[in-house]
Structure 1
Amino acid sequence: MGKSEAKGQPRWIDKGLPDVRDVPDSQRAEPPDILEQGATSEDALHILCAALGMPEDADRVSLASPIGPVAAMRDKLPHIVEKRKDGRERYANFAASTVIAPYEVWRVAYDDGSFRLAFIGLFAGKQQLLVVVDVEDGQVLWNMMNCDAKALNKHRHGTLIYSVRGDVAADVQEAPEAA
């Protein structure tokens, strides 16, 4: 059985932050193109890697983020696209944009004492994105999920370590090792 997010972490609402459903489109990123869905898991992985800027002969690519580089590693990506009905590769452009220019980044604690980073991507329109970054062996892209804004609010908990609003000072002082 895998690890789970620790219970009782402070949520966005506890910190007095705005509901992402109320953020006007003028403060959101322009949505990138939604890609075609791959017919197979192999096609989907190829689409995902290409959108992340990974050359076919490379095993990894580094994406610049406001909190430091995030590695996308070919051997860590197949589980993202394995559920073919979800077609997550269609949102790979959103993932790259979310890592490079997130709305927020949260340090989320897990029940085994570890943590991951939740990159929140806000886009004009209906589709939003969550990118999960594992920090066990550096900052490595671990997962991504497209959703609507209401569902995205559920992932805004833990310690806020980055915000486009610049309102993270108190949280960063609580967790200096995550800054």
Structure 2
Amino acid sequence: MKRLNGAWIAYGIVFILFEIVVGRYMAVFDRFDQMRIINNWHAFKLDYLFRALTFAGELLIPILVLILFVYKKRAWVKPFLFSYAISTLIVQGLKHLVFPTALRPYAYFKAVDIPWYLVPGVEMNEYNSFPSGHTAAAWFCFMWIALFINKRWAGFAMAILACGVGISRVYLFQHFPVDVAFGAFIGISSSSIFYYIYHENIAA
């Protein structure tokens, strides 16, 4: 039987807790209150924090991790790229083929006369809300970083960062919680599948 990595287990525990909390949040509040409560958090320091966290879910971080693996863990390059490709294909397929008219919060509430707080400098998108690509990329990428460090604390720490990226997408008024929950599931699932498939080759 394949021995599971401690960092992967820690990462998975935080993921499960994240999904439970987000799921409970969605069950208790309707879509309007889901956004209103988080929108009311707004603060100058949080604006910068969540803009930085959302940046961590963009293309630059996966590219940096890929470069790291090319030089330090060449056997990890193939499963990393495969998991990235699958995650991206699923997210973009859902966004553009299955749910192309899914409105983002800015467009969804456009007709509601509410003075929503919008973080300065953030471009408001209106369509392709489901699922969150940034969140999927974060949960995909930070898992591989945790595996690379190969410590249980790294699993917890990287998962917390991935949670932060997900929260940032709601805070920045770019996604609903459901978009984030499914994005996280896609990201961690794609990485976990290829980690398991290539486990014998990439085990530390």
Give the TM-score taking structure 1 as reference length: 0.30
Q: TM-score, normalised by structure 2?
A: 0.27
If each structure's strand is expressed as a fraction of its own residues, which one has the higher value? 1
Larger Rg: 2
